């Protein structure tokens, strides 16, 4: 898949990993639909990126909003070639706190609804649009890139809801690739490590230094540009399919 001329749909596209990906696609000659909450900076980002970007406000946990948003991007640019699912939340709570308080079932349910169900809902509408694309030389019509986390594999205390939701995304990878092979649509999952995004907002310098120290090399936090470059590699290398890739500087939680 060539990036120039490609159309991307990026959830959580107004900040963090999603924003980095949206910027890269446009900078390399593609077009992008930025799907994020109405309260996000999506409108300002789309205005900054220009005519090759559009903001489509939507909550990925709302089925009706998702369907309309994906259709809006496909209508605006005539197709969808790559869908990057970066929207998500990361609440922290122990199943039973040290004070004896139970983990909120509503919090667990909402985390799975946004991170896992929302991802699946977006991608199923995106692949319907991709299926209408003219196939490339080898029959390729599109690419799905889902965002999980190293917490899907090495979840820490307080990450039961988050790890369960991201573990579901990891488990989806190969079945999705097999389901969609008929249509020439590839599926990849990324497990980012410790990334310098809004999820670390408010973290003090001592804690940030401790997080950096977990990385084997390089000794820095991951950046949205690192993630975006990986997505670009997936787009350009057609043989990459059905795999889960860690982006974590060899950290192990």
Q: Could you list the active site residues? A: 162
Cβ atoms of 8 and 25 within 8 Å: the answer is: yes
**100 DSSP 8-state letter:** S
Q: Per the omega criterion (within 30 degrees of 0), is the bond before 218 cis?
A: yes
CA pseudo-torsion sign 199, 204, 205, 211: negative
Which residues are paired to 31 by β-bridges?
7
DSSP reduced 3-state for 199:
helix
253 vs 251: CA distance, rounded Å:
6
DSSP reduced 3-state for 220:
coil
Residue 38 buriedness (CB in 10 A; 0-12 / 13-18 / 19+):
exposed
Which residues are paired to 33 by β-bridges?
9, 54
Cβ atoms of 35 and 122 within 8 Å: the answer is: yes
């Amino acid at each position: 898949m060539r990036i120039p001329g490609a159309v991307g749909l990026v959830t959580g596209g107004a900040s963090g990993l999603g924003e980095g990906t949206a910027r890269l696609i446009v900078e390399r000659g593609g077009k992008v639909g930025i799907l994020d909450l109405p309260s996000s900076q999506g409108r300002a980002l789309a205005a900054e990126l220009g005519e090759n970007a559009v903001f489509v406000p939507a909550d990925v946990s709302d089925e009706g909003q998702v369907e309309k948003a994906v259709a809006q991007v496909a209508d605006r640019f005539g197709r969808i070639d790559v869908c990057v699912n970066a929207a998500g939340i990361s609440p922290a709570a122990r199943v039973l706190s040290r004070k004896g308080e139970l983990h909120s079932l509503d919090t667990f349910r909402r985390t799975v609804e946004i991170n896992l169900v929302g991802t699946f809902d977006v991608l199923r509408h995106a692949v319907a649009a991709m299926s209408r694309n003219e196939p490339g030389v080898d029959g390729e019509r599109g690419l799905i890139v889902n965002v999980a986390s190293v917490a899907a594999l090495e979840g820490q205390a307080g990450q039961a809801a988050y790890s369960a939701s991201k573990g579901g995304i990891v488990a989806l990878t190969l079945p999705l690739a097999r389901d969609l092979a008929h249509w020439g649509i590839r599926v990849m999952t990324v497990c980012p490590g410790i990334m310098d995004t809004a999820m670390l907002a408010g973290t003090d310098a001592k804690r940030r230094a401790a997080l950096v120290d977990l990385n084997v090399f390089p000794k820095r936090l991951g950046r949205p540009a690192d993630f975006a470059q990986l997505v670009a590699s997936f787009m350009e290398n057609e043989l990459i399919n059905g795999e889960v890739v860690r982006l974590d500087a060899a950290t192990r939680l």
